Amino acid sequence: MTMYKLARAGFRRPALAVVGILALVILSDPAAKSNKRAVMVLSGADAPEIDRAARDFRMPDQIEWRGLPGSANQTATLFGDSSKPGFIVQLLKRGPDDWSQPHMHPNDRILTVLAGTMRIGTGSKFDKNNTVSLGPGSIVKDFANQMHFDGSGPDGLTLEIVTMGPLPAGRGRAQ
């Protein structure tokens, strides 16, 4: 029976209502929001397949943030294993006005400010007044074994950190 004949027989609106309800049921499933496969099925298209051995990715809702109880700071390792040699990509969220004391890292690191304000200083003497403020999009290179300190502005801070492992326990590495 053609759609024209269905419409004439009074079935068009109920058929559209059933399709609409089906779409709402499928799309209201929380898993469907992160998995676009349900939308693809509704449209009749095949979901694309990505070879995760060739190119891996994370969606924002797949990031596993970890932090100490009572602390505004949180970290997430996106790629790599901080206990093993190799490439590591991490995210760091800091609360407002959170500062590190002077320290150094055993490997070079590249930091990208994703949100908030990062304040950076160098040397073994901690001095908040001798820092440079950097906003979103700014990039910092920490050189291996060079003393520095940093902090977040009043709006907190989110950083992407790219480095090589292994990392010492306590420096972005699970203990």
Q: What residue segments make up the domains of the chain, in order of their start?
A: 3-43, 60-165
Q: Give the residue from 114, 126, 120, 123 showing the smallest Cα distance to 158.
A: 114
Contact 117, 134 (CB under 8 A): yes
pLDDT (average), residues 79-91: 95
The tens digit of pLDDT for each residue in 108-120 reads 999 999 999 999 9
Among 34-38, 54-58, 67-71, 78-82, the minimum mean pLDDT is found in: 34-38
Claim: this prediction has a pTM higher than 0.85: no
Q: What homologous superfamily does CATH list for 60-165?
A: Jelly Rolls (2.60.120.10)
The tens digit of pLDDT for each residue in 97-151 reads 999 999 999 999 999 999 999 999 999 999 999 999 999 999 999 999 999 999 9
